[in-house]
Amino acid sequence: MIQVKSAAEIAKMIKAGELAARALEHAGKNARAGISTWELDRLVNEFIVSHGGHCPCKGYGGFPGHNCYSVNEELIHAIPSKKKILKEGDIVSCDIVAELNGYMGDNTKTFRIGKVSEDKERLLQATESALYKGIEQAVKGNRIGDIGYAIDSTVSGAGYFVVKQYIGHGIGKEMHEDPEVPNFGKKGRGPRLVPGMTIAIEPMVNESTENVRLLRDNWTVVEANGKMSAHFEHTVLITDDKPLILTLTSH
Ligand code: MF3
Ligand code: CO
């Protein structure tokens, strides 16, 4: 069932979203050549906890980290590791969920470590712009399919591939609520968007194929051909007017 949040719940979602966004910003500031993804995760968790929140991904389905840090061909759900040291030219997708006073914010950015190749730069720009094209469609009266259609056309127009096996989601008290928010779809299809709905829109994009592979750790999802992948995400509120991005560092 798709929930419509009350004004009181929305106030809490705004706070949770802001914390998630600040934590993601903190991840970005610390994502430098030489740091391990384990240390990055430790710093982000410390930041969230010191602001009164916690990391609901820890232990979710047995996930061992506090959040996910996926490097280069890793698309999503990579486990923080002391052995994984970021280096110049890498890209790292930091997918950060924060829970505060019972509500959650979920956001992701793929950060560049120093200067990255032209190819990586283009992939990141296409993925981020697909996120904003999707958000533009998150208005009352539209349907979920309008968001996915906008994302997929932007991504395929740039010559890349939307991953279909993993999708965005409603979010609130739970990390994953209805509706499902695929990064593909047909205009005018799917559940109708209503003010008060809160959804995580999150294009996951591969360089050379829509296919992915699950690594032996049973978590890390990688580009099937070992090429690059990118991921950008915001938690968004449907309003009577323009969509409100909840995962911003200030409101
Ligand atoms: N942040 C992810 C999402 O958007 C969830 C991570 S999976 C977990 O759905 F196991 F780490 F929680
Ligand atoms: Co999400």
pLDDT digits (tens, 9 = 90+) for 31-87: 999 999 999 999 999 999 999 999 999 999 999 999 999 999 999 999 999 999 999
CA-nearest residue for atom 5, ligand 1, is 57
CA 56 to ligand 1 centroid distance, Å: 9
Q: How confident is the model at residue 175 (pLDDT cuts 50, 70, 90)?
A: very high
216-235 pLDDT tens trace: 999 999 999 999 999 999 99
Q: Domain coordinates of the chain in residue numbers?
A: 7-245
User: In this model, does residue 251 exceed pLDDT 90?
Assistant: no
Nearest residue CA, atom 8 of ligand 1? 57
Counting ligand 1 atoms within 8 A of each CB, the residue from 45, 55, 63, 232 with the most, and so the one to mutate, is: 63
Tens digits of residue pLDDT in 108-146:
999 999 999 999 999 999 999 999 999 999 999 999 999
The ligand minimizing its distance to the Cα of 247 is 2
Q: Which residues line ligand 1 (CB under 6 A)?
A: 57, 60-61, 63, 68, 77, 95, 97, 106, 200, 202
The dihedral sign for the CA sequence 73, 78, 84, 89 = positive
* Ligand 1 atom index nearest CA of 95: 1
Return the H-helix or E-strand segment holding 11: helix 7-30
Secondary-structure percent of the chain, ordered helix, strand, coil, rounded to 5:
30, 25, 45
Write the pLDDT tens digit of every residue in 149-174: 999 999 999 999 999 999 999 999 99
Contact 28, 111 (CB under 8 A): yes
Under CATH, domain 7-245 is a member of which superfamily?
Creatinase/methionine aminopeptidase superfamily (3.90.230.10)
Counting from 1 in the atom list of ligand 1, the atom nearest the Cα of 97 is: 1
Task: For residue 9, give the 3-state DSSP assignment.
Answer: helix
| Ligand 2 midpoint to CA 88 (Å) | 27
